[in-house]
Amino acid sequence: MNAVHPKEVEEVRGLIEQWAAAVRRKDIDGILRHHAPDFVMFDVPPPLQSTGIEAYRDTWPLFFGASPEAPVFDIVDLKVTAGADVAFAIALMRCVEVKAYGSSDLDFRLTICFQKVAGLWTFTHEHHSVPAMD
């Protein structure tokens, strides 16, 4: 049920792989290359949401500051569902957090939503989170 349009699924999957590779290079322009101006981010740390591409850009230095010199940002599992002009991806991801006492793996959940704009798949929303521990 997850491949409505196989060609579109492959295109979206390729964009996600390029985006994750840009994160691993700390290439902020590469990370933002296919993102919409009115992009909405729900990130692991506060705030509750960041709206607009500039606010999204500003989330990345915090992540790089909490990551090793060569950031880990691995796609563990990825399912893409794509129609002709709307798509989404559900992923389990792994990164590494640097803390005062060392580093530890951090598994997180990622949902990405896409819309085709002027014929090009465009990231319009990302939701990154970890389960709440309280």
**Rounded distance between C-alpha atoms, residue 25 and residue 7, angstroms:** 27
Q: Tell me how far, at minimum, the Cβ of 127 lies from a copy of itself, in Å.
A: 4
- Return phi, psi of residue 37, to 5°: -60, -35
Q: Where are the beta strands (DSSP E) in 4-46?
A: 35-42
82-111: contacts with a copy of itself (CB under 8 A): 82-88, 90, 92, 107, 109, 111
- What is the closest distance, in whole angstroms, from the C-beta atom of residue 88 to a copy of itself in the complex? 4
CB atoms within 10 A of CB 60: 18
Binding-site ranges for a copy of itself (CB under 8 A) = 1, 4, 36, 38, 40, 42-49, 79, 81-88, 90, 92, 107, 109, 111, 113, 115, 117, 124-125, 127, 129-133
